[in-house]
Structure 1
Amino acid sequence: MQKINDLNTAWISRGQQVSDLADKMQAAALNDEFSKEDYEKLSNEYDQAVAQRDAAKHSLDIARANQKPANTEIDDKGDNPKPVNTKINTNKNKLTFANKFVGMMKGDPKIVDEMTSSTDVNGNQIGLTIPLDQQTAIHQLVRQYQSLEPFVNVEAVSTISGSRVWEKFQDITPLANLDDETAEIGSNDDPALTLVKYQIHRYAGISTITNTLLQDSAENLMAYLNNWIARKVVVTRNQKILEAVGNQSKKPTISKFDDVIHTLNTSLDPAIAATSTIFTNVSGFDVLSQVKDAKGRYLIQPDVTDPSKKQINGTPVVVVSDRWLPDNAGSHPFIFGDLTQGVTLFDREQMSLLSTNVGAGAFENDTNKVRVIDRFDVEIADDGAFVNGSFKDIPDQVPTAPTAPTASTTGTGK
């Protein structure tokens, strides 16, 4: 059984690789800076991935055909073996969900009726709600990708809309001096409170599941589905987090070495700057990592406690793939701040699935379509907790010329 699972995983993995390489080939063909050598390299990788995918599928079919039922007992007539259940599955929630999902995919009337009777506030069918333990598995997979979610504040909510009150950092004035014993005590400057409203939105996508995959074990089906949802969750939530960050009005433009230091020193309250992080993409990090100060020292330095981590003047630098944190009109991002205080993701925690083998082109292709819906909202909680800067090319800091000795300091030897 383990061999079959490994072959199935390899088949799915190679299939995803084939899809990714096909996308890269299409992008390369449309690129104005087309390179014949790079395209031929991608084409060779694509052919190799297709061959490996087909080989994995062929081996999987052979392994399934040769599989013999294990742990069987003979029925009353002695001629029909029946499986013996030697293990008790203690994860009842996962088992129930897997069974319901398979039942949904196969059109079990009981499961279908149970789902279609459930609707959200807008009257839309919710489908099969993913349980919390399964959501945990999905979020564990999310960590394998470059998700921005761990860097912001995430709050679980149980309603589709609501509001929160946050106190922003502000200048604090001293208490009034009351030398007169009979003087009236005035009011303090109360904290500046901000009302932040959220409205949960629905984000959805459809995945195609082949009948071959549907006939596989429930565990492998769940693994495929979880991986697909995890990728979609990362892309969707990263996009909405970046949209919220992009609404920040403080957008310093960095054009030289001193601008970087000036932004770190003056753009945020010192209390927030102490817990802040710099976010940029791979292209931006490549530019920053080559910038030198007047003494020839690189702007970006390794963390002395962990050389694999980078920092600028003690502020950690997080590098995100260009795919997840893209350039904007040729400018690289330079997000500086504490996003856990600046941005909040309100998570409805009510992912749901619904399937069809008739609509969305499934009938014509003899496949099954699965729709997943994620529910969340992203709002700025404190726009004073971060700045959204940008930069292109940053020249090295101009070396300081040595000071020429003056006549008064030049010795005559007499």
Structure 2
Amino acid sequence: MDERERELRQQLAAKLEEARSLTNENKLEEARAAAEAAKNLRKQIDLLQELREADTPASTVPAAAQEDDPGQEFDLKKEHRSAFDKYLKHGKEAELTTDEQRAFKQMQQQARSMSEGDKAAGGILVPEDISKEIIKQKQTKQSIRNLVGVKPVGTLSGSRAKRRGTNLRMNNVDEKQPISKMDTPQYQEVKYKVHRFAGIFEATNDLMADSAVDITDELRDWYTEISLNTENDEVFYGIGGDDSCEGIFVTDKYRTLPCTTLDIKTLRKLKNMVDKGYRNGAKWVMNTAATEALADMKYSDGKSVLVPDPSKADVFTLFSYPVEVFDEIKNEGTTEQKTKLAFGNFEAGYFFFDRKSLEAKTTDVGGDAFDNDTTLTRVIQRFDGKPANEDAIVILTGVPVNG
């Protein structure tokens, strides 16, 4: 950082403080003028950074050398994480080392390459270790990632092959007899187009300035929760099309069975609608109200159909198959509420296409950040969800429950 840039940063900090003081004194016109001046100073700083990077390009390393040097990859991750932590704390005013700037720029370019819209609007990719921590946290909770088939993807759109269930058998032949041809397995494509989901984390500037607070941890915990809720809701109730997942309880791809009477016979019929090949690894999926509706159902010998696990709370089996309880599954109706439940092999029956990389961008001027004296961090995730093997899942509709 040269002397001119350091001077501009000092002017920017002073101008922001002036704008906040004027806001507190209710001198709004003067405050907005100070805010505009701060924005112009920030543009000058950004331009100086771009000129410096253009004037002193990083030394190039052959691709083969990059692949063969694991230490270099480790350094990139380390500098990226360090730059990301400073960026969350200080935004564009963060003072980065040369290596941190290089890592920041590479990750920013990757983030922009993932955007289909304004390439200049991209933030920075969330470091891989934080992304992995977020996924691990989700997997310790009631997440659809533990239910459906998760397919990591590296492009914004594409397809994955699925093999349909088949009853093919090998031919019985004698020694030295020619082996006749047989039908080949049938494959179909599941097309995906990842959708963009975003959330904004708002923190007071006092909190951002508190050295005892790890903003990265705060952001990770907040994002884990809202992302988990979003993924679960989209996989169950996404409306499909260009802007949403195609939800399990919304799609018309799976077979359904109307619940005229909720009894053992109906549940057994639903279970047996799934071929035995798919029943290996199958689960029941329902909400808490549905488990309540099944709680008093018993066999002729008085044993409960819904069997609790004595060692774990709220863990059940039904016909020896695990029961997964998701309260994102809705009850419908007012006076007489009804819900849906599903049975099948969800890992084979539904694909969750995960773009994996998360993107973050901060501002303390845009949106309501300036007026509220806060810093906003926008986090973007990209994923899609589609039915895969339609025969692997069946839905029981119109299940009567007490809300």
Q: Which runs of 5+ in 2 are unaligned?
A: 1-76, 238-246
1:209 alignment partner, SS class = strand
| The one of 77, 82, 95 aligned to 2:82 | 95
Alignment-derived partner of residue 118 in structure 2: 123
2:341 alignment partner, SS class = strand
Whether 1:194 and 2:182 are equivalent positions in the alignment is: no
CA–CA distance in structure 1, aligned partners of residues 291 and 330 of structure 2: 12
CA contact (8 A) 1:98 1:218 kept: no
Pick the structure with more helix per residue.
2
Label 1:219 to 1:212 Cα distance change in 2 as closer, same or farther (>3 A): closer
CA drift of 1:149 comes to: 1.4
| The one of 153, 156, 160 aligned to 2:152 | 156
Q: Which runs of 5+ in 1 are unaligned?
A: 1-89, 395-414
| The one of 279, 283, 287 aligned to 2:285 | 279
1:207 alignment partner, SS class = strand
CA–CA distance in structure 2, aligned partners of residues 224 and 206 of structure 1: 13
CA contact (8 A) 2:152 2:353 kept: yes
CA drift of 1:295 comes to: 3.6
1:214 alignment partner, SS class = helix
- Quick one: which amino acid aligns to residue 327 of structure 1? N
Q: How does 1:32-47 map to 2 (within 5 A)?
A: none
Stretch deviating more after TM superposition (282-291 or 166-175): 166-175
| The one of 159, 167, 171 aligned to 2:167 | 171
CA–CA distance in structure 2, aligned partners of residues 307 and 262 of structure 1: 28
CA drift of 1:307 comes to: 8.4
CA contact (8 A) 1:279 1:333 kept: no
Whether 1:290 and 2:296 are equivalent positions in the alignment is: yes
1:251 alignment partner, SS class = strand
CA–CA distance in structure 1, aligned partners of residues 108 and 144 of structure 2: 34
Alignment-derived partner of residue 361 in structure 2: 354
Q: Percent identity?
A: 24
| The one of 306, 309, 315 aligned to 1:309 | 315
Alignment-derived partner of residue 134 in structure 1: 130
What is the CA deviation profile of residues 123-156 of structure 1, one whole-angstrom value per residue up to 9, with x for unaligned ones?
3422010011011121233235421111111122
What is the CA deviation profile of residues 294-313 of structure 1, one whole-angstrom value per residue up to 9, with x for unaligned ones?
34332212358878632112
CA–CA distance in structure 2, aligned partners of residues 224 and 304 of structure 1: 35
Alignment-derived partner of residue 331 in structure 2: 327
Which of structures 1 and 2 has the bigger CA Rg? 1
CA–CA distance in structure 2, aligned partners of residues 241 and 213 of structure 1: 35
CA contact (8 A) 2:254 2:393 kept: no
Alignment-derived partner of residue 44 in structure 2: none
2:85 alignment partner, SS class = helix
Label 1:331 to 1:376 Cα distance change in 2 as closer, same or farther (>3 A): same
Whether 1:251 and 2:249 are equivalent positions in the alignment is: no
Q: How does 1:59-70 map to 2 (within 5 A)?
A: none
In the comparison of the two structures, how many residue pairs are matched? 298
Alignment-derived partner of residue 205 in structure 2: 211
| The one of 392, 396, 399 aligned to 2:399 | 392
CA drift of 1:259 comes to: 0.1
TM-score by length of 1: 0.64
CA contact (8 A) 2:235 2:248 kept: yes
Label 1:158 to 1:287 Cα distance change in 2 as closer, same or farther (>3 A): same
CA contact (8 A) 2:205 2:375 kept: yes
Whether 1:225 and 2:219 are equivalent positions in the alignment is: yes
TM-score by length of 2: 0.66
CA contact (8 A) 1:280 1:318 kept: yes
CA drift of 1:195 comes to: 0.8
- Quick one: which amino acid aligns to residue 362 of structure 1? A
